[in-house]
Structure 1
Amino acid sequence: MDEPMSDLHFHAMALMFRFRDFIKPRRKILEEVKIEPGFRILDYGCGPGGYVPAAAELAGSSGKVYALDIHPQAIEMVKDLAFKKNLKNVETILSDCDTGLPASSLDLVLFYDTYHALSEPDKILKELHRILKPGGTLSFSDRHLEEKEIVKKLTEGGLFQLKEKGKWTYSFEKI
């Protein structure tokens, strides 16, 4: 599978994301996804956790946010963020593919700016399909791909169908 980026590269990316999140808060993007209290969510490729606080707040105390990343520094940053913000409904997963989550257990997967960097994206899509509930949503964005490419890559395997195109994300439904 994939290897984590260097620590230096990761910290540079994290710094850039902090600036990005200050300019355009992640909550605005997540409001488009229609997260409801009680939702069980996976942030796949969570990085330093830019979406985690907003997702945890929107899911509420009855919900759960799993933050998965291949980079140990990402996991440590998310743990620290959850501790500092007292986010009791956040759990981290250090992995490149296998989530360890039960089948059909999640309402939503956030899959943002990660797809283009994966060596085996179909393997990841199968895992995300496995853990989503029937009718669950895969919220997708990747600024490195064109719209036609996004729709083709996510629907050609017969696992997902395009449900809605928003201003910032594409919502795919588990078939």
Structure 2
Amino acid sequence: METKKLSDRFSGKDRESMSNLGFNAMTLFMKLMDIVGGHSRKNFQSLGLKAGQTVIDYGCGPARYIGFASNAVGEKGKVFAVDIHPLAIAKVKEKIEKLSLTNVEAVFAENYTTPLNSETADVVYALDMFHMVEKPEDFLNELSRLVKKEGVIIIEDGHQPRTTTIQKIEQSGCLKIIQETKSHIKCQK
């Protein structure tokens, strides 16, 4: 697996990584979207999470969905907030403390690999980030590894056409599309 120097990784030189300034600007923009239009709440409601589930918010960014996810899965459920950016992990930890979220854990991913066990999650969702993934086959294989046999992977197009999202999923060979909505694509192994 190709390894990038840490200094290059967060300099913003590629699609997957962004500078700290870029991350902070994205966080501010997302916060404004939520204040003005409630974007995160509306987007989250379409996921259909249930009490007691284990879910992975892959590419959690500034942790905009983890409060909703924590409430949805309840005290018997678990939320893993995964990201490749150290500032994202810091934001998750801040939000865990601020909201007293006892069922949420921050997980740092190296490239696409997480330290989580295989078949950990009932649901893995990747919202507004798939367009940034440079190696979709590797990424989707990791999501497939993380989801339980009957589990669901939910992928939002992000800033790419739906046809591109579908093409990447089909080319991976590890997932089958089971449902398309206006907001996202649901897949299974």
* Conserved 8 A contact 1:141-1:168: yes
| Structure 1 residue 110 displacement after superposition | 1.1
User: Shift of the alpha carbon at 1:27?
Assistant: 3.0
Q: Is the 8 A contact 1:116 1:145 kept in 2?
A: yes
**Stretches (4+) displaced over 4 A:** none
Tell me: higher relative CO, structure 1 or 2? Use CA pairs within 8 A at least 6 residues apart.
Answer: 1
Query: Which residues of 2 match residues 72-87 of structure 1 at below 5 A?
Result: 72-87=86-101
The one of 65, 71, 74 aligned to 1:51: 65
Deviation string for 1:4-33 (max 9, x for gaps)? 311111100100011122222423322222
SS in 2 for 1:33: coil
1:109 Cα offset (Å)? 0.9
The 1-side partners of 2:101 and 2:39 are apart by 18
CA contact (8 A) 2:59 2:82 kept: yes
CA distance, structure 2, for counterparts of residue 76 and residue 115 of structure 1 = 21
Q: Figure out how many residues of one structure are paired with residues of the other and give that number.
A: 174
1:111 correspondence with 2:122: no
Structure 1 CA distance, aligned partners of 2:41 and 2:78?
A: 16
1:15 alignment counterpart: 28
1:167: Cα distance to partner?
3.0
Q: Which residue of structure 2 aligns with residue 140 of structure 1?
A: 155
The match for 1:153 is: 168
Residue 128 of structure 1 aligns with an amino acid whose one-letter code is L
- Does the CA contact (< 8 Å) of 1:29 and 1:169 recur in 2? no
Q: Which stretch shifts more, 147-156 or 122-131? A: 147-156
Question: 2:46 aligns to what SS in structure 1?
Answer: helix
Are 1:101 and 2:83 an aligned pair?
A: no
Q: CA deviation at 1:117?
A: 1.5
Larger Rg: 2
Aligned to 2:105: 91
Q: Give the conservation status (yes or no) of the 8 Å contact 1:32–1:166.
A: no
Q: What amino acid is aligned across from residue 20 of structure 1 in structure 2? A: M
- 1:127-156 Cα deviation digits (max 9, x unpaired): 110111012111111232212221121123
Whether the aligned pair in 1 keeps the contact of 2:57 and 2:81 (CA below 8 Å) is yes
CA distance in 2, matches of 1:160, 1:27: 27
Aligned twin of 2:177: 162
Question: Following superposition of structure 1 onto structure 2, how do residues 35-46 of structure 1 map, counting pairs within 5 Å?
Answer: 35-46=49-60
What percent of counterpart residues are identical?
Answer: 32
CA distance in 1: counterparts of 2:182 and 2:84, whole angstroms: 28
Task: Using the TM superposition, give the Cα deviation of residue 112 of structure 1 relative to its aligned residue in structure 2, in angstroms.
Answer: 1.5
C-alpha distance in structure 1 between counterparts of 2:118 and 2:132, whole Å: 25
CA distance in structure 2 between the partners assigned to 1:21 and 1:154 by the alignment:
29
